Structure 1
């Protein structure tokens, strides 16, 4: 079994065994794993602040690295055992990079609140968790 396959299984096992401590946006990642992505905490924002301000959202090396780093820091709040290697090898791809960064930066909680309302009995019809709309 390949190293990547092992990390994917570990990511899915991590998701199944962890109870998220922080509220966030539910995202279905590239490998099919669904995780709750909380917003960055202030320590992470301070650490990434200059890079966040300069973020272009493009495919330049700085933007791609920022998405990876911010995603890892956010996910580690709910899944402390997750590694950067797992995030960049199995969870992130070009198809979900922007969506995941949006979830990480969901500072107001707006997307999370929409998902909670949709999941509640009688929730808004036709709404899907982040990552499910294009599947």
Structure 2
């Protein structure tokens, strides 16, 4: 249950005090809200589009959290190349930001979704930032 609290400042004007609203708090009955993040490549490791996985992920996020923000981006990383040197990789990704409570229930649900996503997208790992700010590669 969300507890909406308006934050005020007191302003003195011509000898009178006025309470001026300046914003809303982001607290719920369970605690503060946080922002989780999942990153999904747009192609699998064989170069096949992951649009069906993206669509299924979005449905899971809507069902589980009531919404998300999706951005497109580019991810990059280095790995050991076949010739013994370093190999640089770039790939187009979908980034999902999810506002959720910062508690154990949300963490368990997010990790479950990340494990499901890893399997569906046939990935070695999935980037997950928990609402606490902790980053895990599932």
TM-score range, shorter chain: under 0.3
| Structure with greater contact order relative to length (CA < 8 Å, sep ≥ 6) | 1
Whose strand fraction is larger, Structure 1's or Structure 2's?
A: 2
TM-score normalised by the chain length of structure 1: 0.28
Give 1 or 2 for the bigger CA radius of gyration: 2
TM-score normalised by the chain length of structure 2: 0.27
